[in-house]
Structure 1
Amino acid sequence: MEKSKVYFTNLRTNPQKNLLDKMESLVRKAGIEEIDFKNQFTAIKLHFGEPGNLAYIRPNYIARMVKVLRNLGAKPFLTDCNTLYSGQRANAVDHLQSAMENGFNPISAQCQVIIADGLKGTDYREIEINGEYCKAPKIGTAVADADIIISMTHFKGHEQSGFGGTFKNLGMGAASVPGKLELHSAAQPVIDTENCIGCNVCVKHCAHDAIHLNAQRKAKIDYNKCTGCGQCVALCQYDGAVMGDSDTSERLNCKIAEYTQAILRDKPNFHVSFIMNVSPEC
């Protein structure tokens, strides 16, 4: 595969050209106009930021990119998948609220927001790539169904992957909640019996009939049936179903690369990274 050409610009401005103008000039120079966007659903994959944190791409840049894409005939939307960890982006209701608070809304960003893997993180498409570690990555449905992928990435450090760049933004960020479980864990989910309240939600929604309640009304996993899909972890509101042992960083990065391959397969794509306000950890 031929290496991509990478175009750089600095953050210096002058009275004739502000930062938004520089970004537009950069993406045009890099060839964004070579993509046929006419009437194509175009996913702009970014990180909306946790409320209270300020290290994310300003919505002004997103709004300018949206304007460029619409002028090229695209049907753009902003998107991200829910997080595996608890927080303000772990379900679509809180995630949308977080995006709105941080300026990613039709007023500031001039674009609609779609949480790619749905209300609870369980809406996904399996894209077969027959990778070494991930045979069929579980990609958020809205990203999987998009015609074109645009990533806008806030470059930073990350505790496990080393750097959080375009690969992490796509490969981990666009993975559904079960997909994130596959990325982070080499093991199948486990039940924390102290947290499990016996609500039966995981039992009802297990597609593989791998969970049942024992005599103490605690969930129990049949590992002969469990596929490690992560559905139980995604649905449990009490941290009763949790990830198994964490995977190694080296293997995690390989998995992220395979997920990115699945996301971009057979689709036009374009990527913009912002190296500013760099945080040492995600």
Structure 2
Amino acid sequence: MKSKVYFYNLRANKASSSLSSKVARIFDVAGFKNIIDKNDLVAIKIHFGEKGNNAYINPIYVRKVVDKIKSYGGKPFLTDTNTLYKGSRSNAVDHLVTAIENGFAYAVVNAPIIIADGILSKDSVEVKIGKKHFDTVKIASNIFFANSMIVMSHFKGHELAGFGGAIKNLAMGCAPAAGKQQQHSTVQPVVGKGCTACQMCIRNCPVNAISLVNSSAYIDPSICIGCGECVSICQYGVIKPQWGTDMDAFVERMTEYAYGAYSTKKGKIAFINFVMNVTPLCDCTPWSDAPIVPDIGILASFDPVAIDQASYDLVNQQFGHRGTALEEAGYGMNPGEDKFKALHPETKGELQLKYGEEIGLGTRDYELIELK
């Protein structure tokens, strides 16, 4: 049976067709009120953006979801988990400061922020899933104990996962640092030729696995936890994952974690994807590169696999933007070509969708309902 995915494009010619209005309307049309009971504690899973990043979801749109939840008797709070890597969101204090500085203050969004895994990413609950890679997964406590959840995801590229949408937001975003480490444990990057010894990777490695050896960065494989932060932080592109069958395991582990987070909220969880500012990399980087395709719109569904498949398809139907990382890749500029494979040739983003369907996270078979 096809999953319904509701879609609004970005065309507007009056106040009622503004994107803010469409966010509120898609909430109602998709039937999200049905997962909210009176006095429910409703987690809005969001990525607040790393300091210096500007591609994350605009807080104005988040406010529309907050107000909708309140109108149906729910008690919303914004939430995310701390990062595994060193950065502006690696503990709850810095994370809160970053969120507020990026525009998510109470005065703007009308809801409090609660970092789901505690001050030092130690607060989690073991959830049994019984899958190929994990029998149990670690889910952040304040997400686990919420009564229902709206997952708001910025759809974009990702240097390890291929792309990031609802599935990745569930997987990495709902896991404490220990859970993120479990997902990344099969990936250990290496330093190639051309290292300038800028030491940016050394300063950002969460476990001090990187040092300078003969004027080049060296990653100690006995210490590396495979978080991948050095891959995204290297501005010269000389640090690369060791691709191969282990990357399949990484994507499958990530998808199993998404299943674990989803399973704690079955019947009480819904998804909104913003297919705008489709940048080459995750919002975890302290910068945002130019979008690779035109802004497309917003999608809503109860199915995380279907909404990501629809988002993926919509992006790949576009012409690529000139003067971007996509054009530099030398492939992917034409409709029908895989933009994310062009950006990150060795990744297997589509495996998120295939494996997610296999383990019961959702279906790739969807009906796209375009709203007017």
Question: 2:157 aligns to what?
Answer: 157
- In the alignment, residue 183 of structure 1 is paired with which amino acid? Q
Please state how far the C-alpha of 1:237 moved relative to its aligned partner: 7.3
Q: In structure 2, what is the Cα distance between the partners aligned to 1:52 and 1:179?
A: 26
Closer/same/farther in 2, CA of residues 184 and 20 from structure 1, 3 Å limit? same
Contact 1:50 1:98 (C-alpha < 8 Å) held by counterparts: yes
Question: 2:169 aligns to what?
Answer: 169
Q: Partner of 1:259: helix, strand, or coil?
A: helix
Equivalence map 1:75-94=2 (5 Å):
75-94=75-94
- In the alignment, residue 55 of structure 1 is paired with which amino acid? A
Please state how far the C-alpha of 1:44 moved relative to its aligned partner: 0.5
Contact 1:88 1:94 (C-alpha < 8 Å) held by counterparts: yes
Question: 1:261 aligns to what?
Answer: 259
Question: 1:196 aligns to what?
Answer: none
1:121 aligns with 2:121: yes
Question: 2:319 aligns to what?
Answer: none
Question: 1:139 aligns to what?
Answer: 139
Q: In structure 2, what is the Cα distance between the partners aligned to 1:37 and 1:64?
A: 18
Q: In structure 1, what is the Cα distance between the partners aligned to 2:264 and 2:281?
A: 32
Please state how far the C-alpha of 1:14 moved relative to its aligned partner: 1.8
Please state how far the C-alpha of 1:46 moved relative to its aligned partner: 0.8
Q: TM-score, normalised by structure 2?
A: 0.60
Deviates more, 1:112-121 or 1:31-40: 31-40
Question: 2:104 aligns to what?
Answer: 104
Please state how far the C-alpha of 1:243 moved relative to its aligned partner: 3.5
1:22 aligns with 2:22: yes
1:35 aligns with 2:35: yes
Listed as ranges, the gaps of 5+ residues in structure 1 are: 189-235
Q: In structure 2, what is the Cα distance between the partners aligned to 1:35 and 1:245?
A: 37
RMSD of the alignment, in Å?
Answer: 2.1
Q: In structure 2, what is the Cα distance between the partners aligned to 1:245 and 1:20?
A: 39
Please state how far the C-alpha of 1:70 moved relative to its aligned partner: 0.5
Question: 2:208 aligns to what?
Answer: 239
Contact 1:155 1:276 (C-alpha < 8 Å) held by counterparts: yes
1:99-123, Cα deviation, whole Å (9 max, x unpaired): 0001112111111001111111111
- In the alignment, residue 105 of structure 1 is paired with which amino acid? A
Q: In structure 2, what is the Cα distance between the partners aligned to 1:47 and 1:28?
A: 23
Contact 1:37 1:69 (C-alpha < 8 Å) held by counterparts: no
- In the alignment, residue 263 of structure 1 is paired with which amino acid? A
Q: TM-score, normalised by structure 1?
A: 0.78
1:154-182, Cα deviation, whole Å (9 max, x unpaired): 01000111010000011111110000000
Question: 1:63 aligns to what?
Answer: 63
Residues paired across the two proteins, number: 234
Question: 1:233 aligns to what?
Answer: none
Question: 2:130 aligns to what?
Answer: 130
1:41-91, Cα deviation, whole Å (9 max, x unpaired): 111001000111101000000101000000011111100000001100001
Please state how far the C-alpha of 1:131 moved relative to its aligned partner: 1.4
Q: In structure 2, what is the Cα distance between the partners aligned to 1:152 and 1:278?
A: 15
- In the alignment, residue 57 of structure 1 is paired with which amino acid? I
Q: In structure 2, what is the Cα distance between the partners aligned to 1:56 and 1:245?
A: 24
Please state how far the C-alpha of 1:249 moved relative to its aligned partner: 2.8
- In the alignment, residue 253 of structure 1 is paired with which amino acid? V
Q: In structure 1, what is the Cα distance between the partners aligned to 2:45 and 2:207?
A: 29
Listed as ranges, the gaps of 5+ residues in structure 2 are: 189-204, 210-221, 228-241, 283-372
Contact 1:181 1:243 (C-alpha < 8 Å) held by counterparts: no
Q: In structure 1, what is the Cα distance between the partners aligned to 2:206 and 2:24?
A: 43
Contact 2:187 2:247 (C-alpha < 8 Å) held by counterparts: no
- In the alignment, residue 255 of structure 2 is paired with which amino acid? A
Closer/same/farther in 2, CA of residues 177 and 238 from structure 1, 3 Å limit? closer
Question: 2:360 aligns to what?
Answer: none
